[in-house]
Amino acid sequence: QVQVVESGGGLVQTGGSLRLSCAASGGTFSSYAMGWFRQAPGKEREFVAAISRSGGNSGHSDSVKGRFTISRDNAKNTVYLQMDSLKPEDTAVYYCAARGRGYGTYYVIPNEYDYWGQGTQVTVSS
């Protein structure tokens, strides 16, 4: 069973930065495509960023493109989300997800993922 654990959330002012980390254990990390999603109160879970197994391909939602960057270190079994120029509308619980099936590059729909973390809260104050 794969376990996914996020860390790095917190409270930051508008324009600030945070780096989220996601550690995955219980499987071969390099065989999992990874993704970040977020969910604000009263809203559906939405795609933020995703990365392929090797890290050679990645995608970001239009709302974070140019401000957030996903990366991974397979030697450390960790995926990161660097978040810069944060805005109040980025406030949400951020979830990390792993997918072991298939041979695609990266995935942007929540139900395409097999394993999820518990989430980490990111709050951006205005």
Residue-wise pLDDT for 85-102, tens only, equals 999 999 999 999 999 987
Q: Over pLDDT 70: what percentage of the chain? A: 100
Answer for the pair 97, 81: CB distance below 8 angstroms, yes or no. no
Distance (Å, whole) CA 79 – CA 51: 9
The number of C-alpha atoms within 13 Å of 30 and in the hemisphere containing its C-beta is: 6
pLDDT of the residue at 101: 81
15 contacts 126 by C-beta, under 8 angstroms: no
pLDDT the model gives residue 111? 95
Q: How many residues does the chain have?
A: 126
Determine how many CB atoms are found less than 10 A away from the CB of residue 111.
Answer: 7
Q: Name which residue leads in pLDDT, 122 or 102.
A: 122
pLDDT over 90 at 14, yes or no? yes
Task: Report the half-sphere exposure of 40 (CA within 13 A, side-chain side).
Answer: 10
